């Protein structure tokens, strides 16, 4: 399992590949060392899903570990309703759906399919304002984009890295540490 990619890292890589380096440097530290207040709030809210406290109904898969041998991905889902086929990824606050978030739910989607579940719809849910954003199931173009992202992550060379946009850097939790 050493070469498996964590599904949450798909979103991080799209934001900035260099952030994965910082994640690995800081993963042994307490998150209070590097998380912003927004990330801390999101982590607290997320705990009820990680601990499967959303519902006791058997139709829900909550916080379970998922994997894909095809893409060598692993991670957890927030919520999947087995009866309706709805996959929900929860975020503390959504202002806009970003490509990285879509790739993250596509990773979950492909894992669930490979594990034998039928996913009919995908939503990203904003907890703070109770809004639900639909994400289209991936077509051939989205699958190609997803597979390209997996390839980029696997082939990433830090020595060839170029700084992303200034806006991304301003919103990065590692901006004070980054020398890019």
CA 158-110-150 angle, 5° bins? 15
- Determine the distance from the C-alpha atom of residue 16 to the mean position of all C-alpha atoms in its chain, rounded to a whole number: 13
Average pLDDT for the chain? 84
Separation CA 15–CA 124 (nearest Å):
17
Q: What is the CATH number of domain 5-170?
A: 3.90.320.10
| Model confidence pLDDT, tens digit, residues 25-65 | 776 666 555 445 554 455 555 555 555 556 677 899 999 99
Considering only residues 33 and 19, tell me which one the structure prediction assigns the higher pLDDT.
19
Q: Is the full-model pTM beyond 0.85?
A: no
Spans of all domains in the chain: 5-170
């Amino acid at each position: 399992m050493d070469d498996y990619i964590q599904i949450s890292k798909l979103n991080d890589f799209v934001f900035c590949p260099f952030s994965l380096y910082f994640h690995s440097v800081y993963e042994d530290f307490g998150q209070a060392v590097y998380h912003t207040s927004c990330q801390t709030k999101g982590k607290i809210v997320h705990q009820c899903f990680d601990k499967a406290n959303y519902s006791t109904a058997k139709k829900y898969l909550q916080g379970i570990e998922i994997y894909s041998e095809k893409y060598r991905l692993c991670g957890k889902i927030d919520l999947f309703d087995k009866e309706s086929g709805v996959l929900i990824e929860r975020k503390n606050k959504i202002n806009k759906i970003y490509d990285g978030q879509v790739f993250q739910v596509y990773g979950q989607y492909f894992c669930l399919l490979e594990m034998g579940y039928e996913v009919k719809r995908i939503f990203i849910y904003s907890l703070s304002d109770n809004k639900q954003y639909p994400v289209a199931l991936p077509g051939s173009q989205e699958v190609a984009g997803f597979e390209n992202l997996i390839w980029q992550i696997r082939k990433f060379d830090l020595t060839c890295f170029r700084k992303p946009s200034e806006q991304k850097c301003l919103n990065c939790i590692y901006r004070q540490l980054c020398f890019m």
